[in-house]
Amino acid sequence: MSADAFLGLLADTCHLDPDTLDAGTALSSLGLDSLALVELAERVYSDLGVDITDDELRSLDRVDAIGELIDARATADPD
């Protein structure tokens, strides 16, 4: 579920066509700069209520891995 939500945020925040993205998409393949990653991390927090850093986004890279982290953190802190 969170991978799909993250895909939507990624497409919206970075002005990408959502039809070109899937769970296996690597952020590194999209050419996002550090500012885009910071903006994306802020959107994850504001829209999904999960704190994730731009460094974690860069390190995890793939949409599915980021979705798993979002799920784990949302489950650990359901507020």
Domain span holding position 65: 2-76
Residue 50 — very low, low, confident or very high, per pLDDT cuts 50/70/90? very high
Q: Is 50 helix (H, G, I), strand (E, B) or coil?
A: coil
Helix boundaries (H) for 1-79: 2-13, 34-43, 54-60, 63-76
Number of domains in the chain: 1
Domain with 11 in it: what CATH number?
Answer: 1.10.1200.10
Residue 69 — very low, low, confident or very high, per pLDDT cuts 50/70/90? very high
- pLDDT exceeds cutoff 90 at 38: yes
Please list, in sequence order, all residues whose beta carbon lies within 8 angstroms of the beta carbon of residue 60, skipping any fewer than 6 positions away: 66, 69
- Give 1-36 pLDDT, tens digit per residue: 588 889 999 999 989 999 999 999 999 999 999 999
Measured CA distances, 46 to 20, 49, 64 (Å)? 24, 6, 20
- The pLDDT > 90 percentage for the chain reads 82
Structure tokens at 76: 């650990």
d(CA 44, CA 7): 11
Enter the pTM of the model.
0.89
